[in-house]
Amino acid sequence: MRPDPRPRLLIMSFSPLRSDARVLRQVRLFADRYAVTTLGYGEAPDGVVQHLRLPDDVVSWHKDRRLLVARRFEAAYRSSPVVRAAARLLEDRARTVDVVLADDIDTVPLALDLAAPGGVHADLHEYHPRQNEENRRWRLFVAPYYRWLVRTYGQRADSVTTVGEGIAREYRMRFGIRAGVVVNAPNFVDLEPTPVPQGGPLRLVHSGNAQRHRLDVILAAMDLVTAPMTLDLYLMGNDPGYLEELRTRYAASDRVRLHPPVAPHELPARLNAHDVGVYVLPPVSFNHLWALPNKVFDFVQGRLALVVGPSPEMAALVRRHGLGVVTDDFTAEALASALDGLSGEDVRRYKAAAAAAAHELSAEEQVGGWARAVDALAARVNG
């Protein structure tokens, strides 16, 4: 059999790949032009030539606390169960990889270990040194480890991308890392805005994780709005206790309805049956303040009006494209006021603006930063 002539690309992520929307976009982007091998949890994504599956029982975030407290960070990294499992899967892999795309800072040292002839592109999904800074124990014991990881290994990556301008700026200011930006936009979906109900309740929607700090403001606002509205929630079961609490609380409600999660590729069509995508994320950490999450772009592909909190990245996007309303602050009262102020004509105008921006705010337009970076590294191999 003739060997595959395509450059050999390894995509690494310590996440369940088939439900990691950002990693799946990378696989789809490169699977035609590259022989793609993936390393991560769960079944192989479609389109790869090989998949290195991490054991399901290995917890990705487990570290030796004693080593973290003693600031023995290299030992903490190398001894962590997921790194040891990944290293075993990667044995003798160096001669079969041309370029590595390492997702999140945790995979970057292993990627560099491979000494791939093209090099390593690091896609940093968050600003890792401040990821959970609202937790005091995390700030004291884990944040120094991530600062060390970025300083020691992130700076050695041949190229870097991240999810937003604010996070890219922080990496540049604190670590001298010049990161490009690839936002979390899904593929373009050919949809038309659905009509806004005449005289009926506005159909609000939110999708994502069942996390208290992400939903409490939205749910509290639903107790305050005076205009007719319903809220549909499509929630992942990441916090089963909280999800069950919500099911019990809204079991008899005709205003707030809970639904099972929807696969990423099916989500825009499901959202399209609604009118307004809602997301207010209190800035309890640096990453929350500068968040520009998948769901905002999912709302656009669903051709919805948007109501978001004054998070700088989300607010700038909504204002730049005329997609909806930015609340005055992060409180339930501000959100309820913004929702009550929406007219049917406002919502129709915002939905039309989402339709006009859907091409520009799609993965097809946004993933060029990955393509340029990885192609430049691959060109080194035979160039």
- Res. 103: pLDDT tops 70: yes
Residues 341 and 371 in one domain: no
Residue 214 in any domain: the answer is yes
Q: Are residues 222 and 92 in the same domain?
A: no
| 36 & 164 share domain | yes
Above 90 in pLDDT, residue 296? yes
Identify the pLDDT of residue 94: 63
Give 198-250 pLDDT, tens digit per residue. Answer: 878 999 999 988 888 789 999 999 999 999 999 999 998 778 899 999 999 99
pLDDT of residue 274: 98
Any domain includes 42: yes
Residue 160 has pLDDT above 90, yes or no: yes
- The number of residues making up the chain comes to 383
* Mean pLDDT, the chain, whole residue set: 94
Whether residue 216 is found in the same domain as residue 259: yes
Mark whether 113 and 171 lie in a shared domain: yes
Instruction: Say if residue 2's pLDDT is above 70.
Output: no
Residue 187 placed within a domain: no
State whether 235 and 172 are in the same domain: no
d(CA 154, CA 127): 12
Per-residue pLDDT tens for 179-200?
A: 999 999 999 999 999 999 887 8
304-343 pLDDT, tens digit per residue, is 999 999 999 999 999 999 999 999 999 999 999 999 999 9
Residue 192 lies in a domain: no
Candidates 80, 76, 160, 47; CA nearest to 112 is 160
Give the pLDDT band (50/70/90) at residue 19: confident
Give the DSSP per-residue string, 56-85: TTS-TT---HHHHHTT-HHHHHHHSHHHHH
The total domain count for the chain is 2
Q: How confident is the model at residue 383 (pLDDT cuts 50, 70, 90)?
A: low
In-domain check, residue 188:
no
Domain that holds residue 23: 8-182+367-382
Question: Can you list the positions of beta strands (E) in the chain?
Answer: 8-16, 35-41, 50-54, 99-103, 119-124, 159-162, 180-181, 202-209, 229-236, 256-259, 276-279, 305-308, 324-326
The answer to whether position 69 is within a domain reads: yes
Judgement on whether residues 76 and 149 belong to the same structural domain of the protein = yes
pLDDT exceeds 80 at position 382? no
pLDDT of residue 95: 73
- Check: CB of residue 43 under 8 Å from CB of residue 20: no
215 and 352 part of one domain: yes
Whether residues 171 and 213 fall in one domain:
no
For residue 197, is it within any domain? no
Specify whether 212 is located in the same domain as 178: no
How far is 18 from 30, CA to CA, in rounded Å? 16
Does the pTM of the predicted model rise above 0.85? Answer: yes
Say what the pLDDT of residue 264 is: 81
- Range 291-310 average pLDDT: 96
Whether residue 371 sits in one domain with residue 346 = no
Q: What's the confidence (pLDDT) of residue 329?
A: 97
pLDDT at 149: 97
Same domain, 353 and 375: no
Q: Which CATH number covers residue 105?
A: 3.40.50.2000
User: Is residue 193 situated within a structural domain?
Assistant: no
